């Protein structure tokens, strides 16, 4: 009893000392992440507040009214907003959260008319625009409120009509409580015209770092082959440019309301334009809501009493549990350090979702464990649950590596992580469910199944290339995937590609160019670059080699390790056909003539270039994107495969 009494004394003292300071800790950031890829319809009105003249029509968010280019009467002096209904607390004291927004927009002026007025991405304290916020006010302010600090509005404007205070009629600006931008940059300096007299879709990225208190805006023209809303929504996102069109210091603390909304605002004036958004991805690291004072006081009184009682009546159980928790310390410690830690699912919730991990729900299996399909009933949410095997010696390390990396990755061609679960030694990751499964299932379907069309094959290739470029160049650390293959490429309902399975992926330190595993080379035979067997190191170039194998696999409809005649592997067979001047004979015969010959030849030659035995002679991801789009030619491919 002496030991117990001493323990209770220490616990009591600890509680009394710690309680006054508990409420002063900075709350951990929570992460909100959603992808609204469209096409948009009225079901999205549950998610978005569609205010004033805005509408959801023709598969897009129309921030100002849609109209036919042939009508005489245009919607002049209109304004509207489309706002996400979810509010966020973006600052707490001097601590500020971060956000990343990316969207595809189209601003179109009919015929040869003058454009007016513009569109803005906005953070606002309320969903509705103020009255009479047409014309120069862009649905943000009006003649009475403009410039007032009580507006608590921050916006990034894309302005198409020059007012007296404007830089020009083609600029991007940072607006704080006013439409008179605190900083503006002409987009003409970046060879961008916001509202040309033709259909142009622009990809925009707005990145805000709450730690550095800096906002950056990036912008690039979308696919030139897209002329309709649906074509543009289905087209792959090009890589984010390296140089922002606007960069500015911005401290949101005290500037905006603690409960603020994200969305879009736009207006027309005496001149008109179409202002529409075709897809929108948003990630916000925000603070949890503030507890009421009464609840804080009640917790401050009750919790110490309950803990003290638990210490008296459950001393033995407490000691026993502490021993059990030590085995989880590495995982829980790592999870607590993750920025914007993803959602934690309850094990029983996932057990119920997968019908007790029924084999009939199994989607796939590998060395890491098993993936099951599940449905979170209360949210009607389809998920893929990845269960790490107990037999996997590195299960815990793979779990943490995958969770740590993919938790921070945000790209429309990467499988999205929804959350995690750790219960009694069981490790699970929860991903967005991909209804069309993995690419290999479609490439190597049964003889009676329709072959994957060329249009979808080319679309998938473009998407994976975009994801690879993001990992290698756009993410804040260089990431090597190390297991790029057809079975790790997942397909959405519309056959957009999503690269998944980051169990072997590793982020490289800035000064490093490779990653070596103590156990030696890891990956899948057929996709492994030859230098990996000698050096044991994974590099961006070895990822490129694997991508080359995927390119030929997609075009040829054959696995990389396929033996064809005297050739032991697919790449050697394709190289021989290229040397003989008949590389198109490698195209999947099930396609017949139903493919674009110029595209197929370009992809096959790119596949050979990526398969070059000398790592430094392989193209980089930026060049790969340009080659696929046809904007630059394929690099020279020698007729004979070079020696390693």
Write the DSSP symbol of residue 343. E
Binding residues for ATP: 386
**119 is written with which tokens?**
């569109």
The secondary element (H helix, E strand) that includes residue 32 is strand 30-36
Q: How far apart are CA 508 and CA 516, in angstroms?
A: 11
Binding residues: 386
Q: How many CA atoms lie within 13 A of 530 on its CB side?
A: 12
Cβ atoms within 10 Å, residue 598: 10
Closest by Cα among 196, 30, 23 to 111 = 196
Closest by Cα among 275, 286, 329, 266 to 139 = 266
136-to-143, 159, 202, 262, 288 alpha-carbon distances in Å: 10, 9, 22, 21, 36
Is 405 buried (19+), middle (13-18) or exposed (0-12) by CB count in 10 A? buried
Q: How far apart are CA 75 and CA 66, in angstroms?
A: 8
Please write down the HEC assignment for all residues of 89-137.
ECEECCEECEEEEEEEEEEECCCCCCCCCEEEEEEECCCCCCCCCCHHH
**369 is written with which tokens?**
């464990």
Q: How far apart are CA 247 and CA 217, in angstroms?
A: 6
Q: How far apart are the first and last CA of the chain?
A: 74
Q: Which residues pair with 284 in a beta bridge?
A: 32, 99
Please write down the HEC assignment for all residues of 58-97.
CCEEECCCCCCCCCCCCCCCCEEEEEECCCEECEECCEEC
- To the query of whether residue 594 is one of the catalytic residues in this protein, the response is no
Cβ atoms within 10 Å, residue 604: 24
Which residue among the candidates 285, 483, 501, 543 is catalytic per the annotation? 483
Q: How far apart are CA 384 and CA 365, in angstroms?
A: 12
Spatial neighbors of 82 by CB under 8 A, at least 6 apart, are 48, 49, 50, 51, 54, 56, 61, 63, 263, 264, 277
Catalytic residue numbers? 483
């Amino acid at each position: 009893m002496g030991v117990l009494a001493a323990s209770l004394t220490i616990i009591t003292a600890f509680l009394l000392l710690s309680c006054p300071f508990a409420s002063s800790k900075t709350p951990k950031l929570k992460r909100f992440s959603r992808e609204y890829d469209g096409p948009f319809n009225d079901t999205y009105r549950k998610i978005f507040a569609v205010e004033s003249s805005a509408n959801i029509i023709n598969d897009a968010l129309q921030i100002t009214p849609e109209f036919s280019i042939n009508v005489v009467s245009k919607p002049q002096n209109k304004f509207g907003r489309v706002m996400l209904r979810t509010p966020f607390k973006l600052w707490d004291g001097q601590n500020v959260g971060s956000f990343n927004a990316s969207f595809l927009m189209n601003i179109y002026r009919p015929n040869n008319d003058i454009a007016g007025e513009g569109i803005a991405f906005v953070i606002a304290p309320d969903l509705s625009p103020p009255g009479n916020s047409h014309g120069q006010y862009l649905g943000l302010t009006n003649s009475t409120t403009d410039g007032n600090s009580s507006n608590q509005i921050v916006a990034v404007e894309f302005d198409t009509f020059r007012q007296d205070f404007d830089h020009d009629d083609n600029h991007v600006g940072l607006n704080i409580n006013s439409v008179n931008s605190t900083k503006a940059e002409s987009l003409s300096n970046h060879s961008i015209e916001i509202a040309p007299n033709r259909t142009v879709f622009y990809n925009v990225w707005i990145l805000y770092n709450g730690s550095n208190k800096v906002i950056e805006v990036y912008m690039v023209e979308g696919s030139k082959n897209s002329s309709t809303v649906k074509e543009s929504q289905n087209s792959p996102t090009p890589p984010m440019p390296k140089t922002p069109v606007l960069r500015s210091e911005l401290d949101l603390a005290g500037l905006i309301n603690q409960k603020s909304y994200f969305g879009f605002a736009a207006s027309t004036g005496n001149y008109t334009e179409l202002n529409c958004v075709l897809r929108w991805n948003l990630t916000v690291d925000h603070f949890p809501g503030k507890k009421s004072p009464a609840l804080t006081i009640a917790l401050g009184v009750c919790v110490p009493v309950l803990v003290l009682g638990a210490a008296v009546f459950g001393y033995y159980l407490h000691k026993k549990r502490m021993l059990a928790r030590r085995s989880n310390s590495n995982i829980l410690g790592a999870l607590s350090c993750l920025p914007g830690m993803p959602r934690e699912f309850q094990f029983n919730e996932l057990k119920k979702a997968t019908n007790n991990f029924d084999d009939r729900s199994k989607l796939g299996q590998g060395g890491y464990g098993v993936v099951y399909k599940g449905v979170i009933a209360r949210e009607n949410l389809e998920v893929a649950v990845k269960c790490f095997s107990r037999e996997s010696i590195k299960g815990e390390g793979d779990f943490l590596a995958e969770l740590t990396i993919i938790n921070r990755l945000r790209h429309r061609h990467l499988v999205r992580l929804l959350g995690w679960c750790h219960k009694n030694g069981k490790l699970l990751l929860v991903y967005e469910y991909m209804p069309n499964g993995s690419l290999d299932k479609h490439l190597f379907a049964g003889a009676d199944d329709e072959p994957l069309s060329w249009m979808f094959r080319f679309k998938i290739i473009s998407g994976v290339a975009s994801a690879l470029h993001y990992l290698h160049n756009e993410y804040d650390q260089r990431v090597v995937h190390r297991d790029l293959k057809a079975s790790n490429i997942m397909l959405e309902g519309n056959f957009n590609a999503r690269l998944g399975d980051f169990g072997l992926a590793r982020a490289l330190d800035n000064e490093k160019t490779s990653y070596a595993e103590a156990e030696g080379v890891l990956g899948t035979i057929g996709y492994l670059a030859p230098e990996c067997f000698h050096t044991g190191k994974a590099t961006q170039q070895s990822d490129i080699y694997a991508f080359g194998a995927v390119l030929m696999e997609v075009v040829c409809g054959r696995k990389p390790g396929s033996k064809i005649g005297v050739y032991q592997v697919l790449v050697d067979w394709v190289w021989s056909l290229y040397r003989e001047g008949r590389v198109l004979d490698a195209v999947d015969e099930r396609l017949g003539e139903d493919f674009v010959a110029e595209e197929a030849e370009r992809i096959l030659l790119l596949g050979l270039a990526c398969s070059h035995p000398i790592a430094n002679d392989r193209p980089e991801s930026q060049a790969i994107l340009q080659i696929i789009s046809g904007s630059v030619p394929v690099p020279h491919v020698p007729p004979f495969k070079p020696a390693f």
